[in-house]
Amino acid sequence: MKKLFATKTGKALAIIFGYSLFSIVTAWGFELIGGFIPCELCLTQRIAYYIVVPLSALMVVMVMTDKLGGNILGWGVLLLGLVMLAGGTLGAYHAGIEWGFWQGPSSCTGGGNMSSGLPDLTKKIVMCDEVQIRIMGLSFAGWNALVSWFCTLVALWGFSKRNRD
C-alpha cells in the first residue's frame, strides 16, 4: 500500500478507485436491497463505473507490483478522469431532465414510447424524468454527477506535472 500512496498520481488513483467502487456498490445496494429500480439513463450512467472500477483496480495492482508508474500512470489516471467526466456529464443531463430543465429521450420520459413494441407488463417501468428519492436534495443522477466530477478533478490533480513524481 505504501507504494500506491508514495506519489500524488498514486494517491489520485486510490481515491478514484475507492469512490467509484463505493458508488457502484451503493447503487447496487439501493437496487437489490432497497428495491429502487434504475431507469434506462441510470443504467447507462453505470457504464463509466463498469470501465473505471476494473481498470483502476488493475492499475492499483500494477502500481503495487512496480509494473506501472511515472508518465504511463499519469496518462492512465487522466483516462479514468475522462471516463468519469463523461459519466458525470450524463448524470447532470439526467438530473436536468428530472428537474424539468430540458426534455429527455422520448423512450424514457413522459410515459414512454411504444415504438419498440408493447412493454413487458411483468416489469415495473421507471421513467427517467421521475425521481424515486432525493437524498440531501439530490437524486441518484445528481449524486452520480457530483461523484463523477469529483473523480475527474482528482484525476486532473493526479495528472498535473507538479509533484507527480
Q: Is residue 15 part of a domain?
A: yes
Would 35 be classed as within a structural domain? yes
Say if CB 132 and CB 61 are below 8 A apart: no
Q: What CA–CA distance (Å, rounded) separates 163 from 154?
A: 14
Phi, psi of 135 (to 5 degrees): -115, 115
pTM to 2 decimal places: 0.84
Write out pLDDT tens, residues 12-30.
999 999 999 999 999 999 9
* Residue 107 within any structural domain of the chain: no
Output 120 or 38, whichever has higher pLDDT: 38
Sign of CA dihedral 128, 48, 145, 15: positive
Tell me if 115 is assigned to some domain: no
State residue 130's pLDDT score.
79
- Number of independent structural domains in the chain: 1
Give the tens place of pLDDT for each residue, 92-137. 999 999 888 988 887 776 655 555 555 556 666 778 887 888 889 8
Instruction: With respect to residue 53, please indicate whether it lies within any of the assigned structural domains.
Output: yes
The pLDDT assigned to 17 comes to 97
Whether residue 116 is contained in a domain is answered as: no
Residue 112: inside a domain: no
The residue range of the domain holding 53 is 8-100+121-159
Q: Does a structural domain hold residue 106?
A: no
pLDDT at res. 114: 52
